[in-house]
């Protein structure tokens, strides 16, 4: 009698585990399918725009640093 209960618990646990794994896989597949392919392209475009903007900002900062250093040299400013 006890062996039947143990076998039932083991097989029940295996079925529950298989159900949990399948459910997790289904949820992952559904969340991936919700994201349209165009959204990835849009994200890539936005990231490229941000990167280009940061490059331009870096160039402007370097120009301002050059101007600032030139002004300091004219005034004879030393650290």
| Whole-number pLDDT of residue 59 | 93
d(CA 58, CA 25): 45
Burial of 74 (0-12, 13-18, 19+ CB in 10 A): exposed
Domain definitions of the chain by residue range:
1-34, 37-79
Look at residue 79 and tell me whether its pLDDT is greater than 70: no
What sign has the CA pseudo-torsion 42, 47, 51, 57? positive
Mean pLDDT of 46-75: 90
pLDDT digits (tens, 9 = 90+) for 2-53: 788 888 888 888 898 888 898 898 888 888 776 666 777 888 899 999 999 9
C-alpha distance from residue 42 to each of 23, 30, 37, 54 (Å)? 30, 21, 9, 18
Q: Tell me, what's the pLDDT at 53? A: 93
Q: What pLDDT was estimated at residue 36?
A: 66
């Amino acid at each position: 009698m006890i062996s039947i209960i143990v076998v039932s618990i083991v097989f029940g646990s295996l079925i529950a585990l298989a159900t949990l794994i399948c459910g997790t896989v289904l949820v992952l597949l559904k969340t991936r399918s919700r994201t349209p392919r165009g959204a990835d392209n849009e994200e890539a475009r936005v990231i490229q725009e941000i990167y280009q903007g940061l490059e331009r900002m870096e160039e402007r900062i370097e120009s301002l640093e050059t101007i600032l250093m030139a002004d300091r040299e004219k005034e004879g400013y030393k650290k």
